[in-house]
Structure 1
Amino acid sequence: MVIAGWIIVALLFLVGMAGAVYPILPGALAIYAAFFVYGFFVSFEHFGFWFWSIQTATVAVLFIADYAVNAWGVKKFGGSKASIIGSTIGVVVGLFIPFGLLIGPLLGAIIGELFAGSDFQKSLKVGFGSVVGLFSSIVVKIVLQAFMIVIFFIWIFN
């Protein structure tokens, strides 16, 4: 049972890290679920108040940062609320087309900004900002999710 638990934990960690880049995957929630799988298959003995507090706070920060960093990229380049919404829709639609994670938010923000009444030059700038925000968000997620995994290993092997 222990080996099966470790295999599931490893798979959930992989899914979680892939979710940092590919937003349709559960990301941080997969990593968080891995802790419960470890507990059920191996032991909850290593986990206490501080472990769960740190991990839960990190997941909360990840959810907030995911939206905030992307919106920051759009706002930093002068975007409106319409371009933030367009960029978000573009990410979702982009999941289903080749290079969609790059093209989707770019086109979504451009279209949103055009609907808000901006000229094409400004809309293009805002679209670029949405891509900067998306990639910044990916970096933040990778760092924080790696932090979650490192804390897990420190806690169980310490």
Structure 2
Amino acid sequence: MSLKDKIAPAPREVRLAGLVTALPGLGLIVFGIVLLAATGQSDAPRNNVLAEAVFYVLFGLAVLGCAAGLAAGHTWARSPGVVMALITMGVGWYLAGPSGLPGPGVPVILVGLLIVVLLFRQPARAWALGQREGESEEEAAERGGLEGRAARREKDR
């Protein structure tokens, strides 16, 4: 199977959302590695710090998987991408508000907001619904939306 077969058609907004979604994923992995490096410098039990570091690295890998799915134009990645963006905005809010760190918090909020905006713009919604040119969202739903798009792709092969 060639790379062209793995990459599905998707609007520019979705691919850009995939690239932006990779930023929090990379941040989580870096944070997990920093925790691993600091295991000996903490009063917390070593097992607790190791478990926390492994959690952040695994969660970061999941976010990167979602980002890769969006960048490759796979519709399954849209919902997890929205969830990741909302979690990112929550982390940014916590940094900016209760933690008193608006310097890093506000950019984190903006990254999450950018992902949500990109994934809910009209071209991204039409792509997720399997909407055809000149067709309304209701007509796409009556036709079968995503299922209709998958059937059309199979028919074209």
The two structures have a TM-score, normalised by structure 1, of: 0.34
TM-score (norm 2): 0.34
